[in-house]
Amino acid sequence: MSAAARLVELKLELPAAPKPAHVYKPVVITGNLCYVSGHGPLRVDKTMITGVVGKDLSLEQGQAAARQVGLAILATLRNELGSLDRVKRLVKTLGMVNTAADFYDHPKVINGFSELMREVFGDDAGVGARSAVGMGPLPGNIAVEVECIFELR
């Protein structure tokens, strides 16, 4: 099933594609690779999910924030590419969690993002290489930031 059709089937509600606030582009396409800038957990009401995972937010809330980042990235992709069907596969993800110093479950948090990608793009095209790490403060104290690279058709 095509990714665009999956979006409809899963009844996913995408936020508005975020506009860059500073000196960068939301995506850059070079050859057949699409580099996506870091996105935060942007809700439909245009607010961000903020807080330190492991202190202000639980693991589940962190996972929900990571999933919200995924929805924001899908919104950007659709806006920039015209259709999600132009995406051949997810290549590489860098998932950064705003964490307390003694929080170690970053992979579980970023699974919130990765599982959404697998739902939309499938078991092969939706699963890529990945690093899931803990960061100090993130911009605006957002809970999760994810940047990634997609391969286009």
Q: What residues from 98 to 127 belong to the interface with other proteins (CB under 8 A)?
A: 99-107, 110-111, 114-115, 118, 123, 127
Question: Alpha-carbon distance 118 to 126, whole Å?
Answer: 4
Q: What residues from 48 to 67 belong to the interface with other proteins (CB under 8 A)?
A: none
Residue 83 to residues 3, 27, 78, 152, Cα–Cα distance (Å): 9, 14, 5, 11
Beta carbon of residue 124, minimum distance to other proteins (angstroms, whole number)? 9
Contact 118, 126 (CB under 8 A): yes
Beta-carbon-side half-sphere exposure of residue 146 (alpha carbons within 13 Å)? 35
Among 26, 41, 62, 134, binds other proteins (CB under 8 A): 134
* Contacting positions for other proteins (CB under 8 A): 31-33, 89, 91-94, 99-107, 110-111, 114-115, 118, 123, 127-136, 149, 151
